[in-house]
Amino acid sequence: MRIVLLGPPGSGKGTQGEQIEKQYAFPRISSGDLLRAAVQEKTPLGRQAEAFMNRGELVSDELVVDMIRERIAAPDCRQGYILDGFPRTLPQAERLSGIDQGRRELVFDILVPDEAIIRRLSARRICSGCGAIHSFHSGGSSDAATCAACGGRLIQRDDDRPEVIKHRLEVYHAQTAPLQEFYRNRSVYHRIEGLGTVEDVFQRVKDVLETYSSELKH
C-alpha cells in the first residue's frame, strides 16, 4: 500500500503520518525532513535546496523525485509506505504514478483553512533534540521552553516565520492544490477534515484505512 498525504503546510500531514506509521508499521517518508537532513549535512542536494526552502519555495521536481525514488526503493518500503509532502506538483504526481505501479494507493487530503494554518505554523516549535513538534501556545510556555519529551531546546523553523508562511500558502494554492483534481480523477482520493484534535483527525483517517483491513498490519 502507498499512502499519500496531501494538504497545505501545517495541516497535520506529519502528525497524522506519525500516527499511521505507529499503528500500521509503514515507514513515513517526509520529503521536507529528507531535505532538511540534506541541508544539515551539506550534501550537494542540501546545498541546492536550502535557499528555496528558506524562501518557502519548492525545490526542483527533478531533485525531489530522484530523492523519493531512491528512498522508496529501500527494503523497509516493500510492504508499503507513507508519503508526507510528496508529491507537491503535477509533474511530481505524474512521475510518482509511474513508480511502483500496481501498488494500492490511497490519498488523504487533510484540509484546514488558511487562517488556522497561519495560527498553527506561527505557534509551531520543533525540538532540536528529538524533532518532536510542539505548539508554542498550547503549553502557555515561553519562547525559551524546552521539550517535554527530551529536554531539548525548542526552535522555530526558518520557514515558519510569518512572511514565509504566507508565501508557502500561495505556493500551495498555485502548485499543490491542482493535485486534488489529479487524484480525484483516479478515485483513490479521500478528503479529511483537518480541524479538531490529533485523535479526532486520526479517527477519520482510520475509518477509511480500516475498509482495507486485509491489506494492513496492525
What is the distance between the alpha carbons of residues 65 and 97, in angstroms, rounded to a whole number? 11
Annotated active-site residue in 71, 120, 124, 204: 124
Q: Which stretch binds ligand AMP (CB under 6 A): 49-57, 106-114, 133-141, 142-150?
A: 49-57
Spell out a b/e string for 67-93, using b for 16 or more CB atoms within 10 Å of the CB, else e.
Answer: bbeebbeeeebeebbbbbbbbbbeebb
Least Å distance, CB 218 to ligand AMP, is 28
Least Å distance, CB 52 to ligand AMP, is 5
Q: Binding string to ligand AMP for residues 62 to 91, with x set by CB under 6 A, is what?
A: --x--------------------xxxx---
Q: Which stretch binds ligand AMP (CB under 6 A): 53-61, 97-105, 145-153, 182-190?
A: 53-61
Site for ligand AMP in 15-34 (CB under 6 A): 31-32
What is the distance between the alpha carbons of residues 52 and 75, in angstroms, rounded to a whole number? 30
Contacts (Cβ under 8 Å, ≥6 apart) of 214 = none
- Establish if 110 lies at the interface with ligand AMP (CB under 6 A): no
Catalytic residue check, 36: no
Annotated active-site residue in 2, 13, 95, 125: 13
Q: Binding string to ligand AMP for residues 139 to 168, with x set by CB under 6 A, is what?
A: --------------------x--------x
Judged on CB neighbours under 10 Å (0-12, 13-18, 19+), 5 is: buried
- Cβ distance 18 to 28 under 8 Å? yes
In the numeric block, which cell numbers belong to residue 212? Answer: 482495507
Q: Which of 4, 15, 1, 154 has its CA nearest to residue 77?
A: 1
Residues catalogued as catalytic = 13, 88, 124, 157, 168
